[in-house]
């Protein structure tokens, strides 16, 4: 086990055994622990009462946070040549067809998100082993398989992104940067919480949220009261 730095020890002292009853106090504590020399990302870790091995207890959806997450993503579009112009003008960073498939098959993945038109999906089937483990395989559910390239690209460029629960039922997702204002972080965090709540899987019985924590990239965990969003 690596040695814990003095900075991290001090952060743990500030937040250990504390349950934050409201978001204002929690965000203040979050910023106090963002004391590295770089701008840290801030994250939500939501432990849910779900078992993703069952189809009706899986959580995978998209959200657009009101203030973005402070990151520009590189988007690739796989489509027919007839659509290249539309995709490029709508902000796609990479546009291709068979040539893009060949690059991906060789492991050359120079993008953060892949959007495709439905007719390309059969060609993508063989790339599941490459794209799947990286979470880059397009799917209709995530909005990355589309017939409306322009509007889809606009949404993702504005900050729309996909998130899902891991195999243990926990959602790990960034909701901004430590240099965002308190109001921006609270707005983003609230929007993310509501998205998780509104997309409650049909198979969930009883209590949905087990616990909620926020933290910075290098900071300590800050536990939120489950009623702090009410």
- What pLDDT, in 10s, does the model give residues 108-130? 999 999 999 999 999 888 888 89
Give residue 210's pLDDT: 96
**Could you say which residues of the chain have pLDDT below 50?**
1
Q: What is the pTM of this model?
A: 0.79
Give residue 1's pLDDT: 46
What lies within 8 Å, CB to CB, of 123 at 6+ separation is 78, 98, 101
Q: Domains plus CATH for the chain?
A: 6-69+161-224 (3.30.190.20), 75-157 (3.40.50.790)
Give residue 6's pLDDT: 66
| Residue 216 buriedness (CB in 10 A; 0-12 / 13-18 / 19+) | buried
3-state DSSP assignment of residue 157:
helix
Backbone angles phi, psi at 184, to 5 degrees: -60, -45
Q: How far apart are CA 92 and CA 54, in angstroms?
A: 35
Residues 49 and 27: beta-carbon distance below 8 Å = no
Q: How far apart are CA 214 and CA 164, in angstroms?
A: 17
Give residue 194's pLDDT: 96
**Beta strand ranges found along the chain (DSSP E):** 19-20, 41-48, 60-64, 75-78, 94-96, 113-116, 160-164, 170-177, 209-216, 222-224
């Amino acid at each position: 086990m690596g040695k814990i730095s003095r900075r991290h020890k001090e952060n743990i002292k500030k937040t250990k055994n504390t349950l934050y009853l409201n978001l204002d106090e929690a965000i203040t504590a979050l910023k106090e622990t963002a004391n590295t020399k770089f701008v840290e990302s801030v994250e939500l870790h939501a432990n849910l009462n779900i078992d993703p091995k069952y189809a009706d207890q899986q959580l995978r959806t998209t959200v657009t946070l009101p203030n973005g997450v402070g990151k520009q993503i590189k988007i690739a579009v796989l489509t027919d040549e007839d659509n290249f112009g539309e995709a490029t003008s709508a902000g796609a960073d990479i546009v291709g067809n068979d040539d893009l498939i060949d690059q991906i098959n060789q492991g050359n993945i120079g993008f953060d998100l892949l959007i495709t038109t439905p007719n390309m999906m059969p060609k993508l089937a063989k790339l599941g082993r490459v794209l799947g483990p990286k979470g880059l395989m397009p799917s209709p559910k995530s909005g990355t398989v589309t017939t409306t390239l322009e509007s889809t690209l606009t949404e993702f460029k504005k900050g729309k992104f996909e998130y899902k629960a891991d195999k243990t039922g926990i959602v790990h997702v960034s909701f901004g940067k430590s240099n965002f204002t308190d109001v921006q972080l609270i707005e983003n965090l609230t929007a993310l919480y509501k998205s998780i709540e509104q997309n409650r899987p049909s198979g969930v019985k009883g209590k949905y949220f087990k616990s909620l924590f926020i933290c910075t990239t290098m900071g300590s965990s800050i536990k939120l009261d489950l009623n702090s969003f009410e």
